[in-house]
Structure 1
Amino acid sequence: MKEKLSTSAFPSAQLADKIGMLAADFQRRFADFEAQKSRLELLGNPFAVDVESSPPNLQMELIDLQCNDALRAKYAAVGAAEFARFLPDTMPQLGIQAAQTLSMFGSTYLCEQLFSLMNLNKTSHRSRLTAEHLHSILRISSAQSLTPNIDELVEKMGHHQVSPSTSNK
């Protein structure tokens, strides 16, 4: 490509600089993942983790886990993300480790989800939405389990009950 195009159409030095800046930005943004590598490996497959290189507070639980064929089968059935829910109470440190690691991704996912929802609702076709409307939309959509209190709503509406009109006879 470089030989077929002039240097003005394909400025390779400028592109190399841009790619270098992009690589440095990736390195900076994902530096935390390198620090969390052992945690991610533990969550990814606790049955393949080297017990001796793992933290001392997890070693005994890892030995018990890796020797348990029923838990190995459960891991194969449900996968890495769901497996932490099936850890027995006798392995609290592994449960804490899994919860801490999984919480890193849940909060990021929730932020991305809410940002996408805001973009969908805040369009030029919906110009009358106020900040209060958008706040309510985000609050409702981010609620994990939202159930109405019917009794309270009926009680509040009791003051405004409208009787059937007698003029329709």
Structure 2
Amino acid sequence: MAFLCDITSHLNVMNLQLQGRGRVVSDMYSTVRAFKTKLSLWETKMRKENLSHFQSCQTMKEKLSTAVFPSAQFADKLNILAADFRRRFADFEAQKSRFELLSNPFAVDVESAPPNLQMELIELQCNDTLKEKYERVGAAEFARFIPDTMPQLRIQAAQTLSMFGSTYLCEQLFSLMKLNKTSHRSRLTDEHLHSILRISSAQSLTPNIDELVQKMRHHQVSGSASDK
């Protein structure tokens, strides 16, 4: 029970890191990769009966004889869990190079990159202005600032950003749909619902108030002219 409490606590921490809006798949991959590395460390320490990362187990061991504490058995469980992680996240490993291109394109080895990206990568990595922009806005936002002269990198970034790393957004959409599509809102059409879901699924959406005001003024002027 002590071991289950400790490992569940570690899993909960990772789970919270994977949740929330604005999480891109490359960030999630980094979180999962870090947890797999932690599992390897924990297994090594557990085989040496070092419980520094398992507080409940440490407390239990202090109350019991060291001869009866099953450290080797728990190490085997950690090994099984690590193997399960490798199997379940094998698809992430296959996309490792793609994620690296998004998370830090300035550190990617050009020679190992796909041939269609190599020339654009050289131009990108030699551009100090873009590098400064990347350091200022971060990986996810930087994709918007890749110039049109680098179309292959733009396509690569767009494809990676469009990946759903978790079901968080899907679950949020279903909840929102259930909230809006009720018997008390019988005049809500499928078109209205589609618009609601499209707005709510946007990771970040800021209305251009000035542009909207200008359009409204244009419609009002056009309407007045036609009346005359």
Alignment TM class, shorter chain as reference: 0.5 to 0.7
Deviation at 1:99, TM superposition (A): 1.3
Q: Which of 180, 197, 202 is residue 143 of structure 1 equivalent to?
A: 197
- Structure 2 Cα separation of the partners of residues 10 and 36 of structure 1: 41
How many Å separate the matches in 1 of 2:195 and 2:80?
37
Deviation string 1:93-139 (CA, Å, 9 cap, x unpaired) is 001111122222xx234x214436868x9xxxxxxxxxx846838x6
Residue 147 of structure 2 aligns to a residue in which SS?
Answer: coil
Offset, 1:10: 3.9
Residue 60 of structure 1 aligns with an amino acid whose one-letter code is: M
TM superposition score normalised by structure 1: 0.62
Deviation digits for residues 71-104 of structure 1 (CA, Å, limit 9, x no counterpart): 1121122111111111111111001111122222
Which of 51, 59, 79 matches 2:110?
51
For the Cα contact (< 8 Å) 1:51–1:59, is it kept in 2? yes
**Partner SS for 2:64:** coil
- Which of 101, 104, 119 is 1:42 aligned to? 101
The equivalent position to 1:94 in structure 2, one of 150, 153, 157, is 153
* Residue ranges of structure 1 left out of the alignment (5+ in a row): 122-131, 147-169
1:108 aligns with 2:162: no
Distance 1:13 1:19 in 2: 10
- CA distance in 2: counterparts of 1:133 and 1:42, whole angstroms: 38
Please tell me whether Structure 1 or Structure 2 has the larger radius of gyration of its CA atoms.
1
Asked if structure 2 preserves the Cα contact closer than 8 Å seen for 1:114 and 1:142, the reply is no
Of the structure 1 ranges 44-53 and 82-91, higher mean CA displacement relative to structure 2 is found in 44-53
Query: Taking CA–CA contacts closer than 8 Å with sequence separation of 6 or more, which of the two structures ends up with the larger relative contact order?
Result: 2
- Partner SS for 2:199: coil
Deviation at 1:28, TM superposition (A): 0.8
Identity %: 67
The 3 A distance-change label for structure 1 pair 70 and 133 is closer
Indicate if the aligned counterparts of 1:41 and 1:49 stay in contact, CA closer than 8 A: yes
Q: TM-score, normalised by structure 2?
A: 0.47
2:83 maps to 1:24:
yes
How many pairs does the alignment contain?
131
Q: What is the CA distance between 1:13 and its match in structure 2?
A: 4.6
